[in-house]
């Protein structure tokens, strides 16, 4: 079965001096967080990186594929995140922001799985500024494609300047890599 996809929202720590800054203080960059899960059995360092979006209210969100499994078979950080009750704390030892080119007129983005999350904010901003954006959204199976309603809304809003191509490495039916419609989400 395919892993479940969850959107998780976290408050920035109260000791933080605001949201992570980049882009000359303008905000809106790509944010990466490291999340640590508690040690289990013989696995003491369970840390994984995630791309996050700043929500603008002192919180950030991540989209996570929850890979099930109990230690020691598969002690993933995603399984730990999937088991956290609402209101529980997660250990986030680092948050950093990265910038991207805002003045680009033509942009190509190659997004793998949940990595689509970090492509969407720059794509939306570039489209609003009049840029041409081409997205290749790669996944294993059609059922692994995420955020399709958001992509469809972008395509509807920017039909002349956005195209999205889905590439599947393990399509249903066992055929070779297949493409989802050239402009279809």
Taking only the tens place, the pLDDT of each residue in 70-117 is 554 555 788 888 888 888 888 888 777 766 677 889 999 998 888 888
**Interatomic CA distance for residues 64 and 10, integer angstroms:** 13
* Dist CA 167 CA 139 (whole Å): 6
Q: Which pLDDT score, from 0 to 100, does residue 93 have?
A: 82
Q: Which residues of the chain have pLDDT under 50?
A: 72, 176-183
Within 8 A by CB and 6+ apart from 184, the residues are 155, 164, 166
- In order of 18, 28, 30, 85, 129, the CA distances from 99 in angstroms are 17, 8, 6, 33, 16
- Going by their DSSP bridges, the two strands 162-168 and 132-139 should be labelled as parallel
């Amino acid at each position: 079965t395919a892993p479940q996809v969850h959107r998780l929202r976290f408050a920035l720590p109260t000791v933080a001096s605001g949201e992570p800054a980049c882009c000359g203080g303008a905000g809106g960059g790509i944010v990466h967080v490291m999340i640590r899960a508690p040690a289990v059995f013989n696995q003491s360092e369970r840390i994984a990186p995630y791309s996050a979006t700043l929500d603008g209210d002192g919180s950030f969100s991540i989209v996570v594929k929850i890979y099930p499994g109990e230690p020691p078979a598969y002690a993933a950080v995603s399984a730990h995140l999937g088991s956290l009750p609402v209101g529980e704390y997660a250990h986030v030892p680092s948050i950093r922001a990265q910038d991207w080119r805002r003045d680009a007129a033509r942009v190509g983005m190659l997004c793998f799985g949940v990595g689509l999350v970090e492509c969407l904010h720059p794509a939306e901003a570039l489209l609003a500024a009049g840029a041409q954006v081409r997205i290749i959204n790669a996944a294993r199976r059609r059922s692994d494609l995420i955020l399709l309603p958001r992509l469809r809304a972008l395509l509807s809003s920017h039909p002349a300047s956005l195209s999205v191509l889905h590439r599947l490495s393990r399509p249903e039916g066992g055929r070779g890599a297949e493409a989802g419609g050239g402009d279809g989400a």
